[in-house]
Structure 1
Amino acid sequence: MEYISNIIFALILVIGIVFFARNVKKLIRNIQLGKEVDVSDNKPQRWKNMVKIALGQTKMVVRPVPGILHILVYVGFIIINLEVLEIIIDGLLGTHRIFADLGVIYDVLIASFEILAFLVIISVILFWIRRNVIRLKRFMSPEMSGWPKNDGNMILYIELVLMCLFLTMNAADFQLQQLGAAHYVEAGTFPISQFLVPILDGMSAQTLIIIERTAWWLHIVGILCFLNYLYYSKHLHILLAFPNTYFGKLGPKGKFRNLDAVTQEVKLMMDPDADPYAAPAEDAGEPGKFGASDVMDLSRVQLLNAYTCTECGRCTSECPANLTGKKLSPRKIMMDTRDRLEEVGKNIDANNGEFVDDGKQLLGDYITNEELWACTSCNACTEACPVSIDPLSIIMDMRQYLVMEQSAAPSDLNNMMGNIENNGAPWPFNQMDRLNWKDES
């Protein structure tokens, strides 16, 4: 019977890790539905970007207030969870504060954990006020209603509860140490939780043990639940920001990718010896789709981008089209891409690993032509993103599909392209008349 709690803990730990691994496998499967893209170039720069942007949070502090608050939550949550290692060992072996033998080092660690926990609580409260009291405009957009709004608040509540449980556990533990309770070795310093001790004064050792054990169990189970909640939440970026910044675009932001199929067509047209009427080679595959109309037409990096989106809205708040009242929201582009990819993944799960045409696609059912053509391709969204997401690449790929597969470009654009084809310039003037202006001066 003395090992029953250890066995229960081990079962909960295994269940949590297995469920998380299953979700990670599903996540990788969904991302691999996209097209392969070569991102093996310039590895030193990619590692540098990952360390600087994902780990160093350099793009977060461009906006100092949310940036500093985010760093406090990020650093605090990561470092405090180092104690999870001790909790896991204690849970499996039935020990208590197994690292207490580290002495002064352990005291410093516990003290720093508590200070960071307090700073996380302050930051989370301020984040909640910004979202729900001040109601910042970028959190009030139409795409942020319903689940996205609830999800943002849910994460704040979870982090607040976990930090409070951590401090409550330490306060009860500290009191038990002072009472000389068996199994509670004197270890650690408690600069924050010591202020909760007066609340516990007068309680019996048995009551304190119940409080400490309850907080301990809820804290570790809460962390495992939070870990598995990530897959369903925008906070998946906690894990994906690192690969996303590594695989981020390295070339000039204004440089667009040329389709190989189009490049080959142009080369064929420019080759004076080529026979334009020749039949394609026997081993030539079917010509690929120009551009993208659904998530399977996008690259794996673009799908990784969609899952990494933090829904912070910095991209949309910087978008000139959105600021002038256009329908486009780069954040919505990423959220729609992720939602469609999840829908496709569920379709595959329901059909024994095969995708069955559901009569829907990203273009039209999620993202409208109006949104795509509102984009000015200025790259403000990609510059603003704190984790190197590129909404513009998805917009341009879908525009490419509209132009080259559906001939569905706006009339002004069709006129311009017709003028370029006929006159060699965007304007409706014959090439012979281009210099007429000089005779009028």
Structure 2
Amino acid sequence: MQYLPNILFLIALLAGIGFFAFNVRKLVRNIKMGRDVDVSDHKPQRWKNMAKIALGQYKMVRRPVSGIIHVLVYLGFVIINIEVLEIIIDGLFGTHRIFSFMGGFYDFLIASFEVFGFLVLVGVILFWLRRNIIRIKRFWHKELNGWPKLDANLILYFEMVIMCLFLTMNAADLQLQLQGAEHYSSSAGITGSFPISQFIAPFFENMDISSLIILERTAWWLHILGILFFLNYLYYSKHLHILLAFPNTYFGRVRPQGQFDNLQSVTDEVKLMMDPDADPYATPEGEDDLEVPAKFGASDATDLNWVQLLSAYTCTECGRCTSECPANQTGKKLSPRKIMMDTRDRIEEIGKNIDDNKGIFKDDGKQLLNDYITPEELWACTTCNACVEACPVSINPLSIIMDMRQYLVMEQSAAPAELNNAMTNIENNAAPWPFNQMDRANWINE
């Protein structure tokens, strides 16, 4: 019976980590359903982007209020999670504050954990107020109705509870030390420094030692179990960006924003047309080696490349992209955030289909185009890259929009009439305007 708590802790730890590993494996499987793409270029720039954007939170602080709060919460969780290592060791071996041998440095660490824990609690409350009381406009778009809105608030509640449990645990621990409880007190004096929980501890001073132990152990268990639960909840939440922001910023776009991808097969065809010495009926050299795509563009999530699917899972639904989108601002249906959310929902639906059918995808009669994203949304985009520039974790909704537009034009000939007229004029007149090539320079005489 003496080791029962340690055994139970080990079981909980293994279960939490095991389920997390299962979800990670499923996540990687879903992302790999995308087309392969070469992202081995510009490695120094990619490492720089990851350090600057993901680690340094460079783009977050462009909006100072939310950015600074987010940085505090981000730093708080990173620093506080160092303490989780001590909790795990104490839980496995039944020790009490195993790192206390560090002396003054340990006191500094515990004090830092408490200060940042309090800042996280304050930051999370401010986020909740901005979302639910102040009602910042970008948090109230229709694509957030239902689960996305509930998910955002659940995360805030989780974080509040975890921080409160952390401070309660420390306050009870401090009171136990002050009362000289066995296992908690030390001949060297108070173990740790408690700048925040010292103000909570007096609320427990009238409790007897057995009641304090129950309180401290309850807060301790709920705190660590809450962390394990939160870790596994990430897969089902918009907070998956906590894990994916780093790879996404590394694999993000490094080329100029205005440079679009061209299909090699189309490029070769254009070069052939523009070569006056070329024989249009000759078989192009190396034709057998050319990889002609089975489909031009993308109509479903699996037609996108894996970096785009990674970005869909990385999206934190903050809405900065949509709030900067000129099309959305003028009342168009396009919302870059919705593009990413729809892509993630569709690839999740495909993954679930595969799971339900023992590893085989059975046609469900759906696709990303039309069932999730309408042509009206796609053609509303001005390709200005405002959404790409605004994203704090290097997500590129425009790349998905352009791939789906490409499908509409090259596979379905479904471009808007105005665009079809312009393309016809370019083909016939080498200009988007409907006049003869010989008349192109007549404006000089005016």
Common topology (TM > 0.5):
yes
Residue identity matched to 1:331 = R
Q: Which of 223, 227, 234 in structure 1 is aligned with 2:231?
A: 227
Amino acid across the alignment from 1:157: Y
Q: Is the 8 A contact 2:333 2:377 kept in 1?
A: yes
In 1, are the aligned partners of 2:265 and 2:291 still within 8 Å (CA)? Answer: no
1:310 paired to 2:316: yes
Higher mean alpha-carbon deviation, 423-432 vs 148-157, is at 423-432
CA RMSD of superposed structures (Å): 1.5
Q: Is the 8 A contact 1:234 1:309 kept in 2?
A: yes
Q: CA deviation at 1:420?
A: 0.6
Amino acid at match of 2:325: C
Which of these residues, 200, 205, 216, is aligned with residue 204 of structure 2?
Answer: 200
Identity of aligned residues (%): 72
Quickly say closer, same or farther: Cα 1:138–1:283, change in 2 above 3 A: closer
Q: CA deviation at 1:320?
A: 0.2
Q: What is the rounded CA distance, in whole Å, between the counterparts of 1:260 and 1:34 in structure 2?
A: 19
Is residue 151–residue 237 contact of structure 2 (8 Å, CA) maintained in 1?
A: yes
Q: How many Å separate the matches in 2 of 1:223 and 1:75?
A: 16
Aligned to 1:81, what secondary structure does the other structure show? helix
Partner of 2:433: 427
The reply to whether residue 156 of structure 1 matches residue 156 of structure 2 is yes
Q: 1:350 to 1:85 in 2, by over 3 A?
A: same
Sort the Cα spacing of 1:204 and 1:157 in 2 relative to 1 into closer, same or farther, 3 A. same
1:39 aligns with: 39
Q: 1:438 to 1:43 in 2, by over 3 A?
A: closer
1:265 Cα deviation (Å)? 2.6
Partner of 1:370: 376
Question: Matched residue of 2:75: which SS?
Answer: helix
Aligned equivalent of 1:236:
240
Preserved CA contact (<8 Å) 1:416 1:426? yes
| Cα gap change, 1:213 to 1:147, in 2 (>3 Å) | same
Alpha-carbon offset, residue 435 of structure 1? 3.3
Task: Kindly indicate whether residue 146 of structure 2 is the aligned counterpart of residue 146 of structure 1.
Answer: yes
Aligned AA for 2:222?
L
For structure 2, the 5+ residue unaligned runs are none
Could you tell me which residue of structure 2 aligns to residue 79 of structure 1? 79
Structure 1, residues 134-172: CA drift from partner, whole Å, max 9, x if none?
111100000011000001001100000000000000000
Q: Which residue of 1 aligns with 2:115?
A: 115
Return the alpha-carbon distance in structure 2 between the equivalents of residues 210 and 285 of structure 1.
Answer: 67
Change (3 A) 1:153 1:253: same
Amino acid at match of 1:182: E
| Distance of 1:300 and 1:257 partners within structure 2 | 16
The residue aligned with 1:176 is 176
Partner of 2:403: 397
SS of match in other structure, 1:406: coil
User: What's the CA shift for 1:355?
Assistant: 1.2
DSSP-derived class of the 1:82 partner? helix
Structure 2 Cα separation of the partners of residues 183 and 301 of structure 1: 51
Name the residue aligned to 2:195. 191
Amino acid corresponding to residue 98 of structure 1 in structure 2: I
Equivalent positions of 1:243-392 (< 5 A) are 243-270=247-274, 272-276=277-281, 287-392=293-398
Q: Deviations over 1:398-434 (max 9, x none)?
A: 0000000000000000000011111111111112222
1:127 is aligned to 2:127 = yes
Write the deviation string for residues 80-109 of structure 1: whole angstroms up to 9, x where unpaired: 011000000011101111011111011000
CA distance in 1, matches of 2:426, 2:281: 22
**Cα offset for 1:283?**
7.7
**CA distance 1:70–1:287, change in 2 (3 Å):** closer
| 1:22 and 2:22 correspond | yes
- Secondary structure at 1:312's aligned position in 2? coil
- CA shift digits 1:360-414 (9 cap, x unpaired): 0000100000000000000000000000000000000000000000000000000
What's the offset of the Cα at 1:275?
A: 4.9
Letter in 2 for 1:246: Y
Scaled by the length of structure 1, what TM-score is found?
0.97
1:276 to partner: Cα distance: 3.2
- Cα displacement (A) at 1:325: 0.5
- The CA distance in 1 between the partners of 2:318 and 2:441, in whole Å, is 51
Note if contact 1:244-1:388 (Cα within 8 Å) is conserved in structure 2.
yes
The separation in 2 between residues aligned to 1:143 and 1:288, in whole angstroms, is: 32
Could you tell me which residue of structure 2 aligns to residue 414 of structure 1? 420
2-side partners of 1:196 and 1:371: how far apart? Answer: 53
